[in-house]
Every structure is written in structure tokens, then in C-alpha cells.
Amino acid sequence: MRVLITGAASRLGQAVADRLRGRHQLRLLDTTPFEPGANATAVQASLLDPQAMWQALRHIDAVIHTGEPPADLPADPLTRDQLLLDLATRGTHVLFLAAVEAGIKRLVCGSTLEIFSAYPDEVYISELWKPLPPPEMPVLSRYLGELTCREFARDYLVGITALRLGRLVLEEEVADQPANLLWLDLRDAAQAFECALQRDTSQRVWWTQRWGLFHVGAPMPNAKFLYAQATQLGYQPEHTFAAHWGGGKA
């Protein structure tokens, strides 16, 4: 499969590319220059550029839109927040509209479980829970980007899979930090994106069947975020953060 990955210079983008490398032909897109690695080509362009997105999506079978912001965000808070909002909403719209016009039927987008941070840790949150995103733009913009994706599933015959990801870390990097129920290992997140690529619902009549929303969490004891729905995609997380729960090193 020929796959375009956005936010490819980010840690998540690199993890997804490494997971898919060798099994798919990759086109990696980001605003900053980076080395694409084997079996991949790099495209340096902004999601806000319709012509660049049209060119980037030529001869592509599926899109993985990680939703990760660029590394070179402006230092000024107001300018940064405006760019985050613009990329998550207008940028996602430009990307997905170009994908629709290119005839691409399989789209995957990344969102975040941070939109549930207002809930206490003593509850178990599934996809049926109401998001309570905070007003801070790094999280709010991700939720607005998710809603933009959902509207494309409503309006077009495309299958869209949204993955709400936990806070991305590597298990070994947080071994000496206090446990956090939001943690998700980058390698498990990459696995979830690979699983989501197999979901093709573009020919379903009802838009609610074309749209799929899945929580992607870690297998912790008494986990706050339930990911049973994602296992139906084939998701099987391997990183349990067991050292933090008295189970030894995973």
C-alpha cells in the first residue's frame, strides 16, 4: 500500500514510519527537513497549502494524519496558538479535501485522550464518554481536528478512523518518573495506526459506519482509559509500564 504520513518528523511520525517500513511504500510529509530513511520519500510542505497537498497525495492509497504539530512552532504564545488551531482545523480540511479529490478512500487521523483529563482517575473512560477538552490550544486544537475529520466521514464516501492516543512516551524513558495513567508507548501507538490502516468502510451507506473512533491506551491495572474497541482492529499493546505497578520491569 502507498501511504502518506503527516507530521513525519515528529517522534510519533517516525515511530509509525518505522513500523510500516518494508511493508508499505511511504511518503513522509512535514514542514521541516528530515531524512526519510529506507523505502520512503520525503515531502516538505505545509498542510495549509492546497496545491502542495494535491501534489503530495498523487498516487497514494491511504493517509495517516498523525495530527502532530511541527517542531518549529512560534515562541509567541498567541501566534503559536493561532497556528495550532489553523493546522488542526483548516490544515486537516485542506489535507482531507485533497485526499477526497484524489480518490483516496482510507484515512486515519490521530487525536488525544488528553481531552478527558478533567475526569478523576477513579473512572473508566470508553469512547461513549463525553470529552471535556480544556481551553488550552495544544489539546483543544486536537479535539477540533478530530471533529473536522468526523465531518468528512459524514459528507463523503470515505472511511475515516480516529485514534485517541494517550500521552506518548517510551516505557524505558519514564522508568524513574511517577506513574501516569495517560502514558502510551510510542511503539504501541504506531501499532494502532498500522491496525487502523486495515479498516476500510468507505462503501458503507451510513456515515456512522464509515466513521470509527477508538481509544488507544496502555494495559495498566485499573486503567482509566478502556481500549477494548481498539482490540477489534487487532491492537495488542505490549508495553505495560509494569515497573510502576509492582510487577517488575516489563
Q: What is the pLDDT of residues 197-247, one digit of tens each?
A: 999 999 999 999 999 999 999 998 888 999 999 999 999 999 999 888 765
Residue 209 domain flag: yes
Asked whether the CA dihedral 104, 184, 150, 210 is positive or negative, the reply is positive
Residue type, 12: L
Q: What is the predicted pLDDT for the residue at 249? A: 39
Residue 184 domain flag: yes
| Tally of structural domains, the chain | 1
Q: What is the predicted pLDDT for the residue at 38? A: 86
214 DSSP assignment: E
| Nearest alpha-carbon partner for 153 in 164, 145, 161 | 161
Domain coverage including residue 131: 2-245
Residue/partner pairs of 42-48 with CB below 8 Å, 24 or more apart? 42/8, 46/91, 47/6, 47/87, 47/91, 47/92, 47/94, 47/95, 48/86, 48/87, 48/90, 48/91, 48/94
Banded model confidence at residue 37, pLDDT cuts 50, 70, 90: confident
pTM over 0.75: yes
Integer Cα distance of 189 and 175 in angstroms? 18
Residue 204 domain flag: yes
Q: What CATH code is carried by the domain that includes residue 177?
A: 3.40.50.720
Residue 91 domain flag: yes
Task: Compute the average pLDDT of residues 6-31.
Answer: 96
Integer Cα distance of 24 and 17 in angstroms? 9
